[in-house]
Structure 1
Amino acid sequence: MKRCHLAYAVCAVTLLGAGMGASPAVAAHRTYVVHQGESIQKAVNSARSGDTVLVLSGTYKESVTIRTPGVTLRGMGGSTVIKPGAKHAKKSGKAAHKGRKAFPTCAEAGNGICVLGTKTRNVRGVTVADLKVTGFSHAGVFGMATDTLTVRGVQSVKNGVWGIAQERSVHSHIYGNYAQGNGDAGVFLANTIKEEAGAADAGQTLVERNRLEGNRIGVTVRRLRDLTVAENRITGNCAGVFVVGDENKPKAGHLEVAANDISSNNKTCPKTDRLPVLQGSGIVLTGTEKTVVDGNRVTGNRGKSPMSGGIVLFKSFVGVTSDQNRISDNTLDSNSPADLINTETRSKGNTFEHNACRVSKPAGLC
């Protein structure tokens, strides 16, 4: 076995054959090591599928875009910090001169790390792990048109909109992250952000074992189906979990919110164009169908917002009912104005079973 060193401390392994002469060399996956003061993006641009970009401890003032499938971007934990760099220079008039729309780069859009496919092909198998992303005006980590994206061990703190976000993506695994103090959701998942459309299949995306604190909302799932939000610790936000649909078809839902610990999400956040004032909401379903909410511990979520309470089925602002949702085997305590709330007077087939709670609106749901 022979080791060699290239730029960014690329390590490759050459395997030598035995017996009747040497077999062809087998190219091994490489690791690009980035030191403080060097460019993460330059290393990412050099990486090929299966390679790792290892970013050592330090502060790196840049945004990073990954478009190559199978690349891993990994830091050393919270000591690897990615912050905004100098404002991206304005694009030259070259693209406009050719009559093409110039799309913003990751930095221009205010994002820290972007994992981007195309309109016709998802980028597969990218991993972002073990680093801190903070201070960006939009999202800490943003994925669009991805397949089997993994985000793990990331600290996404005090970004302007989302901690970790994705759209038009499938088969994602978002786990073991810490999202704190972000302007909107700690974790945000949507079919598409810039247009109204029916709910998309998220391909068994899994959001699990994250700690989400002090954001506007812990987890927002918007216009999606076929995913699971499980075993997360969600506290100190204005609202814990939002599952949101609209008037388009297929409806949002056919997903699971399970075994989460959702407590004291009692910050107050001002109203927006889409939502009223938020305070004291544990889990909110609005305009959804066939969503299973089971085995969660929901405690101490208290407020005076229209959506305040432990687990709330709330009428959709566009008049879409929430139908055939199952709320079962949850433990609820000290939520106000009630542990279980169903405002869906026109809905069909919603069930409340085996929940341990004290107060419901209307009475009889506990």
Structure 2
Amino acid sequence: MKKRHITYLACATTLAGAVLGTTPASAAHQTLVVRPGESIQKAVNAARPGDTVLVMAGTYRENVTVKTPGLTLRGMGRATVLRPPKKKKSTPAKKTTTAAHKKTTSTPHMKTTSAAHKKKAPLTCRQAGNGICVIGGKNKALADVTIADLRVTGFPKTGVWSMGTDRLAVERVTADDNGQWGIADEHSTRAVFRGNTARGNGDAGLFLANNVQAEEGATNSRGTLVAGNHVEGNRIGVTVRRLRNVSVLRNHVIGNCAGVFVVGDENKPKTSAVTIGYNLVERNNKYCPKTARLPYLKGSGIVLTGTEKALVMMNAVTGHSGKSPLSGGIVLFKSFVGATSVRNRITDNRLADNSPADLVNQESTKSANFFEGNACRASKPAGLC
């Protein structure tokens, strides 16, 4: 018998349903097993809503795009590894010397109608340099997808990238040494990022935003949760940009240039209702050079810039040292487009050994930010501890 490239493990209830002449609801959900040398994408394409694609231990050199609702893509932990496809050797193009070619190229005012000169099509997941892409429709969110228990490493852009999703779960994924973001999500709602490791990525380990392509006000994430992740050695540990109703809880954020960065700007509505709580944020003293939007980063624990009504509570923030305008334990900073941080609550945090200070409030007193119950030694201005 010819060996199949995708193995189906059907539920035991399927047989019972067939005998009885009925099909139970669980019979529609199958597990498609992918082994080394086989294609994860082929299994994903064959899967139906509610199915699981189980990827066995091994190294897979491919990009994967998920567009099926209710799909679970699961590996065997860090032993299941996705890496970029091997580069194909390019062959030099042959010169064209036909008369027709000469005539075409020598006509100065000929109209161009080739596809290359028309509006460019969006890049595919592979062309953009991402590892795993979870992509919803333009006007309909892709619901209930789970990505779990695997490692995504070495991609030019992002390890796991999602857009236009609802109730996405990314759990126990290791995303390391990717060119831009480890795990990134935009234009989505009710996502859960839990128990992941994001290490050594070019920008943020975990990056959540409303829209990375347009200047828009903060959108409502409807309760997105970032919890229990280990984020180390990135430019920024966790970035929340232009979102509302997000919780960042119980994460270990260490050795980045900046730990947790909540970003707002002049657009309306502002970034708000973000909770940063119970995190261990320590020694984020890596140096990162300045960019077009930010000064150089070094020694920043938790930074709020251009935000309102954020709650920063019960965090342990220790061992930060730097001379950047954003350096310090917990820092409130007016955004570089002039948007103020107002009506934020900084309460019951434990801070130690942060320089230039444990608490730094660069906003005016009229901004009405609230500091209470924080255990610390030094603040700028004085009197916040």
- Aligned partner of residue 254 in structure 1, secondary structure: strand
1:66 correspondence with 2:60: no
Secondary structure at the aligned position of 1:41 is classed as helix
Larger C-alpha radius of gyration, 1 or 2? 2
Deviations 1:162-193 (A, max 9, x none): 00001000000001000000000000000000
* Residues 174 and 197, structure 2, Cα contact 8 Å, conserved in 1: yes
Q: Which residue of 1 aligns with 2:332?
A: 313
Per mean C-alpha deviation after superposition, the further-off stretch among 23-32 and 181-190 is: 23-32
- Name the CA shift for 1:288/1:45 in 2 (closer, same or farther; >3 Å): same
The partner residue of 2:198 within 164, 170, 179 is 179
Q: Match of 1:146?
A: 165
Q: Does 1:124 align with 2:143?
A: yes
Residue equivalent to 2:312:
293
What does residue 30 of structure 2 align with?
A: 30
Aligned AA (2:230): R
1:303 aligns with 2:301: no
CA distance in 2, matches of 1:307, 1:293: 17
SS at match of 1:131: strand
The Cα offsets for residues 186-232 of structure 1, whole Å up to 9 and x where unpaired, read as 00000000111000001100000000000000000000000100000
Normalising by structure 2, report the TM-score.
0.89
Report sequence identity in percent.
59
Equivalent-residue separation in structure 2 for 1:335 and 1:302 (angstroms): 6
Alpha-carbon distance in 1 for matches of 2:355, 2:114: 55
Opposite residue 86 of structure 2, the aligned amino acid is A
Residues 298 and 331, structure 1, Cα contact 8 Å, conserved in 2? yes
- 1:235 corresponds to which residue? 254
Match of 1:276 among 285, 292, 295: 295
Corresponding residue for residue 188 of structure 2 = 169
| Contact 2:285/2:320 (<8 A) preserved | yes
1:266 aligns with 2:285: yes
- Partners of 1:312 and 1:144 lie apart in 2 by 30
1:34-53 mapped onto 2 (5 Å cutoff): 34-53=34-53
Determine helix, strand or coil for the equivalent of 2:42.
Answer: helix
Q: Are the counterparts in 1 of residues 5 and 34 from structure 2 also a CA contact under 8 Å?
A: no
Q: Would you say 1:10 and 2:8 are equivalent positions?
A: yes
Could you tell me which runs of 5 or more consecutive residues in structure 2 were left unpaired when the two chains were aligned: 91-112
Deviations 1:77-126 (A, max 9, x none): 11111000035899xxx993795531111111010000001211110000
Q: Does residue 1:156 correspond to 2:154, yes or no?
A: no
Once residues 95 and 129 of structure 1 are traced to their aligned partners in structure 2, the CA distance between those partners, rounded to angstroms, is 42
Q: For residues 144 and 87 of structure 1, do their structure 2 counterparts lie closer, same or farther at Cα, with a shift above 3 Å needed?
A: farther
Q: What is the deviation of 1:234? A: 0.3
> In 2, Cα distance between the equivalents of 1:106 and 1:17?
39
Name the residue aligned to 2:103.
none
Question: CA separation in 2, counterparts of 1:341 and 1:313?
Answer: 6
1:322 is matched with which residue: 338, 341, 344?
341
CA distance in 1, matches of 2:190, 2:88: 32
Q: Please identify runs of 4+ aligned residues in structure 1 that moved more than 6 A.
A: none
Alpha-carbon distance in 2 for matches of 1:353, 1:345: 17
Residues 82 and 151, structure 2, Cα contact 8 Å, conserved in 1: yes
2:224 pairs with 178, 187, 205, which one?
Answer: 205
TM-score of the superposed pair, with normalisation by structure 1: 0.94
Cα distance in structure 2, aligned partners of 1:235 and 1:22: 57
User: Aligned match of 1:220 in 236, 239, 242?
Assistant: 239
**Residue 215 to residue 23, structure 1, CA distance change in 2 (3 Å):** same
Query: Which digits, 9 at most, give the CA deviation of each residue in 1:17-40, with x for residues without a partner?
Result: 69xx82412233111110111100
Could you say if the C-alpha distance between residues 307 and 55 of structure 1 is closer, same or farther in structure 2, counting changes exceeding 3 Å?
same
Matched, 1:135 2:154: yes
Match of 1:358 among 353, 360, 377: 377
Contact 2:5 2:38 survives alignment (8 Å): no
